[in-house]
Structure 1
Amino acid sequence: MTDPEEAEVAAWLGAGADRAIETACARVFLAGDRAFKVKRRVELGYLDYSTLELRLWALERELAFNRAAAPDIYRAVRAVTRKAGGGFEFDGPGAVVEYALEMRRFDETAVLAAQPWAVDGPLADALGRAVAGVHAAAPVRPQGGGGKALKFTIDSNAQLLRELAPRLGAERVERLVAGTDAEFFRQEALLNRRQAAGFARRCHADLHLGNILLEEGRPVLFDCIEFNDVLSEIDVQYDLAFLLMDLDFRRRRDAAVRVLSAYLDEALRTFGEVVLDGLAALPLMLSVRAAVRAHVSAHSGDLDAASAYLDAALGHLSPAPPRLVAVGGLSGTGKTTFSRLIAPGVGAAPGAVVLRTDEVRKRLAGAGPTDSLPSEIYTSAFYDRVYETLFAEAARLLRAGRAVVLDATFLKPELRARAEALAVEAKVPFSGVLLEAPAEVLEARIGGRAGDASDATIEVLHGQIERLARDEPPGPAWMRIDASGPAEDAAEVWSHAAPAAG
């Protein structure tokens, strides 16, 4: 039941608002170019806003936490005070009866949940890198994360889903509960190692498309969890998993896997190769996130969505096995576009991580992903170091159960042989692809490039053509595909010729 004073404050804010939005724990009043958020006077177990002091505490944390990623949206905590003659005002001399968080109003249709199709390749790449940047800057929380934090959510999911079993199906619920526990105990030691290594941080914790805004072509993360440290001080990969699961559930696996690849390329700059080991726990994390959405949807009355999320949670616990695909060819053959097209269909959801030598070079040189490198850096020693790093990262990903697509020229026979040997060592299937196109097509493509990690020039292409003429041709493990047309055509040829790729 609403407190009379709470209703009075809501009426005052609502009188000056164009629209009001109500949730179980808050009200948001949209007024012109501003928005005011007040916490409801509730105690829900996982959050407590029952006193004025607790509501102030929550709003101040919400302001501080969200300013890290959305400083232009979150403005100030305002006191709602009584006027001497009756009524209310902001920050007056009278008694404080409530607190409100003032925010800049934004276009609600620009939230990605309202336009999941807008997450194209460049935006997915930017989103992955933005999340990695937030995680790199987030405060470390040594007591958070690890097996204990994830098990808290797993056990909560089990209780809530069992209560819903009559509506969702008891057999499916029990299969999910048992499967989740089994996978958790298999990954618990890894989760605890990640906690000790500094991957437990204060995270957004509610990172789905409904809390990501697209403004001026860039993603803005907002509305993070501030009310419960157990839920927000978590493994950074579990934070990312919500976004990946949401995209995958919305049939945007193409965007999800590009987010993942971009995230890892950026995270490797901060955390080093150890960040890749955590991918072994990604299927579990995706499943737990889907299970959360299952009971939330059911309690909201959407049983169809709840059932679909339950199926998704079960599916993530049976991931496809890893495999290695190496995509080679001269500069301009479209290796990166081809790799990104096939990645969603290779391995466990949301697909294979694409490792690009072009991005590895930039990382090793300490440059941004699309910065140009001086020609003098391209020595034979640097070339060898790039491939050493590429194969080392691929090996760690394969050990973690994650499929990999290697995007490199693979002009040298010894590098092709090394890719094949890596698959043998990891005991995973291997597919090699060499894309081919006439020189004039490649020259035109290279001349039209902009904003990409590749530094290849037409001069570099001519040197590759000369070297290719001298080297021995690839063996039977490598499929030659005509890439003179659209990359989608080449990807379709590969998918038909390599039916075991998924």
Structure 2
Amino acid sequence: MNDRSDLAQQASLVQRLASALTAQDQPCQLFETHISWVLVTPTYAYKIKKAVKFDVLDYSTLYARHRLCEEELRLNRRLAPGIYLDVVPITGSFAQPLLGGDGGRIEYAVRMHAFPQQALWSARLEQGQLDAAEVEALADKLAAFHASAAVAPAGTPWGSGRFVDKAARQDLATVESLAESGELRAQAHLLTVWQSTQERVLDLIAQRKAQGFVRECHGDLHCGNILTLDGKVEVYDCIEFNDDLRWIDVIDDLAFVVMDLRFHGQPGLAAMLLERYLEASGDYSGLAVLGYYLTMRAVVRAKVCLLRARALDGAAAAGHAALARRYLDFAAASVQPGKPPLVIAHGYSGSGKTYYSGRLARALEGIRIRSDVERKRLHGLAPSTRMAAPAGAGIYSDDSTRATYARLLELARYGLRAGLPVVVDASFLQRWQREPFERIARERGAEFRIMHLRAAARTLRARLAQRVRDGRDASDAGPELLARQVAISERLGARERPQVCLINTESGDADRVLAALAASLRTDR
């Protein structure tokens, strides 16, 4: 229930503040949502919460609004400390309100640095401006944020299988009740049936809660809440008003922006974000629940669109209803993943495996898994840590190599089960390393390819020397390791050759061959 007189009084206050700011040579734009007003000047933005109460939030009292302004500041300064400045009291009277001052408090505002709307990723997507560097920066930022976020205390319901299941059922029931066409209701019903069969996923969700993956996240991580400002990616407008929506699995948090990028026609950027996040965080086990969260994020967006359509008339209502249908179509398609391919790179250090496997993963809109990164992760080392261990010893011992390939196989399984094309970047010079990957592809009915990278010995040595000088790659390979690889390498067998795609990375034809490989694998899907 919302008190119309309180809202009217607030609306008048906001208009008077806007006029006062403009009179002070601070031209003011006013933005309004169903829960807040935002006054934007060339320098600052002031966000004022409406005196409203809904099922998911309660801003109905001045005390609640003040407390949640402080909470909004605390939570958002985790990801955007340069944007969120402070909580400003509004004093004076409703007829003559003042931002700041020592008088009695009649309202509160969260003060932020203003930024142009064109900086938002939602706008950058529309203009075709969002690029790979921004997406990778976001992935790194989110991985670090999730790693440091508070873990849900034991005994709390947040993120448990039962809690997630109940929320999903409620969201689907709401969508079905709001759908005005038989087609939308049928779509919602099919998704409800699908959701009722997800016991195994809900068990995995419960396990992840016990493992500490439910944390105090952002909760509303779509492209309208991400921006690039002066070359730096920022994330703002975290959910402060509802603990249930913020204390979630980190993969659920990530799933929102992955879904949003896919929905807006950027599956390549979505795959790049996912791959970079997984490599930075190591949370490949989260792929087992990613599909569920992707689907439910689309369902929730459909619900929001239908609620907005219900509150509007005419063309505006029809537009939101049409958008809801698109989200439901996306959700329905996401529960039927295809049979993605599995590709392993093959070649000596310096042959171009990392470069070409990365390009292939992007072309397939899949993920790349790197042996150099996972080997070091198994030993508790950061990818950038330089190791001087001789070939065949230390983290490059035979036992360590076997553990690394076992880890790569496990991660490839996670990716394939999630419906993602997987490219594994490792040398794969011996048959015992290659055969298990071919076997899991065959078990899943997936296409399997060996991308054989070749370059002359002098080129390999020159590339490795340059890599050492640069010092930026996870690989520690040098001349000694290269010599050992040549000594232990086993030729590709006759049975393997039909699955081999040879790329001479010194040839001007390499790009064409890679493109043909990607095209053949997309066709096979």
Q: What is the TM-score with the length of structure 1 in the denominator?
A: 0.87
Unmatched segments (≥5 aa) in structure 2: 22-26, 310-316
Paired residue total: 488
What is the match of residue 376 of structure 1? 389
Distance 1:381 1:9 in 2: 69
Task: Name the CA distance, whole Å, in 2 between partners of 1:397 and 1:471.
Answer: 23
Q: Where does 1:103-502 land on structure 2 (aligned, <5 Å)?
A: 103-116=112-125, 117-141=128-152, 142=154, 143=156, 144-167=158-181, 169-183=184-198, 185-268=199-282, 275-298=283-306, 299-300=308-309, 301=317, 302=319, 303-321=321-339, 323-343=341-361, 351-364=365-378, 366-369=380-383, 371=384, 373-376=386-389, 379-383=392-396, 384=398, 385-386=400-401, 388-398=403-413, 401-402=417-418, 403=420, 404-421=422-439, 423=441, 429-438=447-456, 452-455=472-475, 459=479, 463=483, 466-467=486-487, 471-474=490-493, 475-476=496-497, 477-483=499-505, 484-485=507-508, 488-498=511-521, 502=525
Residue 110 of structure 1 deviates from its aligned partner by: 1.6
SS for the counterpart of 1:13 is: helix
Task: Assess if the C-alpha contact under 8 Å between 2:176 and 2:184 holds in 1.
Answer: no
**Structure 1, residues 249-271: CA drift from partner, whole Å, max 9, x if none?**
12222221222122122222xxx
Mapped to 1, the partners of 2:511 and 2:330 lie a distance apart of 28
Which residue type is aligned with residue 39 of structure 2? F
Counterparts of 1:498 and 1:4, CA distance in 2: 60
Note the residue ranges of structure 1 that are not aligned, 5 or more in a row: 269-274
Q: State the percentage of identical aligned residues.
A: 31
Distance change >3 Å, CA 123–CA 337, structure 1 → 2: farther
Report the alpha carbon displacement of residue 462 of structure 1 after superposing the two structures with TM.
6.4
2:100 to 91, 102, 117: 91
The AA in structure 2 aligned to 1:324 is L
**C-alpha distance in structure 2 between counterparts of 1:151 and 1:33, whole Å:** 44
Change in CA separation of 1:338 and 1:448 when aligned onto 2, cut-off 3 Å: same
**CA separation in 2, counterparts of 1:119 and 1:327?**
29
Aligned Cα RMSD in Å? 3.0
Deviation at 1:24, TM superposition (A): 0.6
Flag the 1:8–1:214 CA change in 2: closer, same or farther, 3 A. Answer: same
Aligned counterparts of 2:370 and 2:377: Cα–Cα separation in 1: 11
Counterpart residue type for residue 408 of structure 1:
A
| Residue pair 2:371, 2:426 contacting (<8 A) in 1 also | yes
- Cα deviation, residue 322, structure 1: 5.3
Q: Among 68, 72, 86, which residue is 1:58 paired with?
A: 68
Tell me what 2:46 maps to: 36
Change (3 A) 1:171 1:463: same
Which residue number corresponds to residue 80 of structure 1? 90
SS in 2 for 1:58: helix
Distance of 1:119 and 1:391 partners within structure 2: 36
Query: What code does the residue aligned with 1:391 have?
Result: A
Instruction: Report how far residue 485 of structure 1 moved.
Output: 3.8
State the secondary structure of the residue aligned to 1:72. Answer: coil
* 1:499 CA drift (Å): 5.7
Q: Distance in 1 between matches of 2:269 and 2:171?
A: 27
Q: 2:33 aligns with which of 23, 31, 35?
A: 23
- Whether the aligned pair in 2 keeps the contact of 1:333 and 1:437 (CA below 8 Å) is yes
Task: State the alpha-carbon separation in 1 of the partners of residues 10 and 196 from structure 2.
Answer: 42
The answer on whether the counterparts of 1:205 and 1:231 sit within 8 Å (CA) in structure 2 is yes
Query: Which residue pairs with 1:272 in the alignment?
Result: none
CA distance in 1, matches of 2:130, 2:345: 25
| Counterparts of 1:485 and 1:375, CA distance in 2 | 35
Contact 2:80 2:234 in 1 (8 A): yes
* Pair 1:159–1:486, CA change in 2 (3 A): farther
Residues in 2 aligned to 1:147 and 1:207: alpha-carbon distance in whole angstroms: 21
Q: Cα offset for 1:379?
A: 4.4
d(CA) in 1 for partners of 2:226 and 2:392? 42
SS at match of 1:226: coil
SS of the residue corresponding to residue 47 of structure 2 reads: strand
Match of 2:14 in 1: 10
What is the CA distance between 1:323 and its match in structure 2?
4.7
